[in-house]
Structures are given as structure tokens and as C-alpha cells.
A and B are shown apart, each in its own frame.
Chain A
Amino acid sequence: ETGVTQTPRHLVMGMTNKKSLKCEQHLGHNAMYWYKQSAKKPLELMFVYNFKEQTENNSVPSRFSPECPNSSHLFLHLHTLQPEDSALYLCASSQEGGRAREAFFGQGTRLTVV
């Protein structure tokens, strides 16, 4: 499944750096998501964009800043991260309001903060 593409696949950044994760979906979906996957923890929803409007922010620290310029693209801007932010960041999309309810995921960005 290549409907959701994430770049980069791997990212190493220092705590003072600024970087961005990119996600693009080619499925015509109307909702996009950022999830964080840490070792030994369930996947955590970070942000939801539905019809380009942010509808949920699960108390994510302000050092993570999402941007959704259109329904096909989603960014996660990172700045002054902490080592505990090292994780796999997964982007997903879904078509809300339709019969299909599943989310489609990208391959993730493995982030290491040093």
C-alpha cells in the first residue's frame, strides 16, 4: 500500500534543531492524523485534521506543531525536542463520513533526538 507516503524515513536531530516531517496521501481522504509510537507503549494520537481543520490535540507539547495546508498534505514541525521524543511517528488518513472506516498508514519516520 503506497497510498500514504512519509518523508524522511529516518531523522536524527539535535535538541536545538528545527526539522519537519512530511506526509502525503493519494487516496482522496478527508482526514489525516499524526500518531506517535514509542517502545512498550500503545500508539498515541497526537493530532487530527478533518476537512483541514484541526479537531483534536491530545495535550501535545508545543514543540510539536502540525500544519495541514490542504487535504492531501500534513506536516509535523519539530523544534527544541527532548530525547524522550525519540519514537516512530506515523501518519494516517481516512475517509470520514463514508462506509469505509479504516485508516491507512504511512511507513513512518524513525526520529532520534540526540
Chain B
Amino acid sequence: AQTVTQSQPEMSVQEAETVTLSCTYDTSESDYYLFWYKQPPSRQMILVIRQEAYKQQNATENRFSVNFQKAAKSFSLKISDSQLGDAAMYFCAYKVDRGSTLGRLYFGRGTQLTVWP
């Protein structure tokens, strides 16, 4: 079974500082996708960054980057130069395109990030 674990229910960071959110997952697949989604108070789930498992290079999107460790099944998100607008619930998600799980996302429980001015 696919499971995604986010061990930090809450995190906080000072504005302009860096914070890292942790995520681990369990799978027997070799080809899959990993995502970080952000859910602000508006409730809309917004994609922050994605990583294809077959790529060794860590994905980056401006201030957001990941540390993907395939062997350890770890996928952490680093937010640099944190901004007040980064405050939200962050979800780690996993997806494999195969068989009956086609298109399905498996989510962690989320990490609530607070950004202090």
C-alpha cells in the first residue's frame, strides 16, 4: 500500500529565513511522481513543485526546492527567503500511473506552516 507520512503537524519560520518540511513515503514502485501542494485559507490546493522519480536532479521552483532521496523514500521541501504569503498547509503527495491507481494521488496529513514577520 502507498502511504505518505508528514511527521511535522506544525512548523514556523521567521520571514526571510529558510524552513524545511519533511515527507516520507512507502512504495514498491520504481516509477512515480511526488508533489508538494499548498493550501492557504482560501482552501484551494495549489501545486508548489513536482518531482519525477526517474530524475535524479532535485526539482526547484524559484524559492522552493526539494531534497529527493529515492533510496530513503524521502522528499523534503525547502522554502528559502520565506514570505508571509507562504503561510499555509502544505501537503506532500504521491502518484503512480499504473493499473487501477491511475491518476490517484496519495496525500500526507499536512504540515501547517506559520510565517512570523
Contacts and interface: CB of A to CB of B under 8 A. Distances in A.
Interface stretch (B10-18, B22-30, B74-82, B94-102): B94-102
- Interface size on A, as a range, is 20 to 34
A23 interface: no
Contacts of A31: 102-103
A96 B35 contact: no
B6 to A, nearest CB: 9
Interface string B83-117: 00000000100010100111111111110000000
Interface stretch (A13-21, A38-46, A62-70, A78-86): A38-46
Interface string B17-54: 00000000000000001010100001111110010100
The dominant DSSP class at the A interface is strand
A108 B44 contact: yes
Interface in A41-72: 41-43, 45, 48, 50, 55-56
Interface string A84-114: 0000101010101000011111111010000
A56 B44 contact: no
A102 B35 contact: yes
Given A43-B107, A48-B104, A55-B102, A101 B97 contact: yes
In this complex, which of B45, B106, B108 has the most chain A Cβ atoms within 10 angstroms of its Cβ? B45
Contacts of A43: 91, 105, 107
Nearest to A88: B43
B100 A55 contact: yes
Given A50-B103, A96-B102, A96-B103, A41 B43 contact: no
List the 5 closest A-B pairs by CB distance, nearest first.
A105-B45, A43-B107, A107-B44, A101-B33, A108-B43
20 contacts: A31-B102, A31-B103, A33-B105, A40-B109, A41-B109, A42-B106, A42-B108, A42-B110, A45-B104, A48-B103, A48-B104, A55-B100, A88-B43, A101-B50, A102-B33, A102-B35, A102-B50, A103-B105, A106-B44, A107-B42
Interface of B: 4, 33, 35, 37, 42-47, 50, 52, 91, 95, 97, 100-110
